[in-house]
Amino acid sequence: MVQIILHHIRMIKIWLMVMFMSSPNMPSVKYQTIAYKTETECFNALNSYFDYYNSKPDSYKETLVTDAHCIEFESFPIKAFKSTGI
């Protein structure tokens, strides 16, 4: 008989900033995701991302379009976040 022992793992709430990019020469829409510990950190990064993109000249924006969103996600604990107690 096989005994299965289940351990309760505490899930954590994280925030993901997902950035989408499209360019005429790309074979597909590209994306990148960065995890943040808090909603505030995610939205600060989101605002910085859009500020950076908006500071580019129109010629740049004619060849690369982007969008980004912060989404909440229940995750298993993340080692990189442990140093902060999350």
pLDDT digits (tens, 9 = 90+) for 4-57: 555 677 889 999 999 999 999 889 999 999 999 999 999 999 999 999 999 999
Residue 81's pLDDT is: 84
User: H or E element: which one contains 49?
Assistant: helix 39-54
Residue 80's pLDDT is: 84
pTM for this prediction: 0.79
